[in-house]
Structure 1
Amino acid sequence: MIIVRQGTAQDAPELVRLRLLMFEAMQGEARPGPWERTAERVLRERLGGPETTMGVFVVDDPAAPGRLAACAVGTLEQRLPAPGHPEGLFGFVFNICTDPASRRRGYARACTEALLAWFDERGASRVDLHATADGQALYRSLGFTEHSVPLSRKRGGSGS
């Protein structure tokens, strides 16, 4: 049986470790840097509060106490309501990762299902994510479909 629990501020270092592994899988190389300290600080701050807009669900590594086997992390955003989104609540999943030694056991699915239930409980009318080719089958099996791709702008306006 897979036990999924809500992440806590104490999980911040492990969540950052898994996030680095996710970027390595997506980009073909690890990209450590100052972002890791900032990510850990943000996680500690956001997960330490009583009413957070960040959902974090984890599976502990049964073979390595203190380590996480998998995680799913997302945020709930309040936008202006619209006809198709009467509450204006949107979810965005930005981190799903399983440690390579723990893959193919259903951990990512279990964490993602818990995160989607968290979004549902809060009334999110749509949940978005960016998927790698490897993750698309999982996300499609959970009800994700194609959606229009918005334009993006990076700071400085260059778009590159």
Structure 2
Amino acid sequence: MKKLYSVDKASVSDIKEIIKLRVSLLKEVNEIQTEEEEAQITHATKNYLETEISNHNFVSYIAKKDEEVVSVSGVSFFKRPPYLENLQGIEAYILNMYTLPSHRNQGLARQLLEKCIEECKKRDVKRIWLHASKDGEPLYKSMGFNFKGSEMELFL
């Protein structure tokens, strides 16, 4: 039987939980290996999120089960010089996609990614890109992302 989850856009009040899952992700992919590194990432991420969520340059969607955040996503918006496929230059980078191991295979990452793509469409983003883990590649491919070098991208 599937567990019931709620999916919402995160706010500044969710920063602590977003950081908790981001740290779990970075530990899982061996990008954090010491307590000192964890403290540095936690502090820097807190500062980043407080600013960027407030000014709407970063959006996160979270899935909760019984008030516990169990899955997270993130999308960072920016504008770069125009190019032929994207004359407005508006792009988005998907990051911080992570689900706690005990809540995987429930479709949460897909739901959160769909929310991120919807947000991109609302903002008239033309290119979404990301760096996928091996575990994440099948999801991104199924959502239309294609490989371009070490990245995957989706044009809207």
Match of 1:34 in 2: 40
1:46 aligned to 2:49?
A: no
Match of 1:4 in 2: 7
- Please give the TM-score of this superposition, normalised by the length of structure 2: 0.84
Give the letter aligned to residue 61 of structure 1.
K
1:73 partner SS:
strand
1:87 partner SS:
coil
1:77 aligned to 2:53?
A: no
Partner Cα separation in structure 1 for residue 142 and residue 150 of structure 2: 21
RMSD: 1.9
Give the letter aligned to residue 36 of structure 1.
T
Mind listing any 5+ residue stretches in structure 1 that lack a counterpart? 151-160
Mind listing any 5+ residue stretches in structure 2 that lack a counterpart? 152-156
1:59 aligned to 2:63?
A: yes
Answer yes or no: is the 8 Å Cα contact 2:64–2:70 preserved in 1: yes
Answer yes or no: is the 8 Å Cα contact 2:5–2:65 preserved in 1: no
Q: Tell me the CA shift for residue 103 of structure 1.
A: 1.2
Partner Cα separation in structure 2 for residue 6 and residue 28 of structure 1: 26
Q: 1:36 to 1:59 in 2, by over 3 A?
A: same
Answer yes or no: is the 8 Å Cα contact 1:16–1:39 preserved in 2: yes
Answer yes or no: is the 8 Å Cα contact 1:76–1:89 preserved in 2: yes
In the TM superposition, what whole-angstrom CA distance separates every residue of 1:39-94 from its partner, at most 9, and x where no partner exists? 01221222234xx12121111123xx2x2111110111101112210110011012
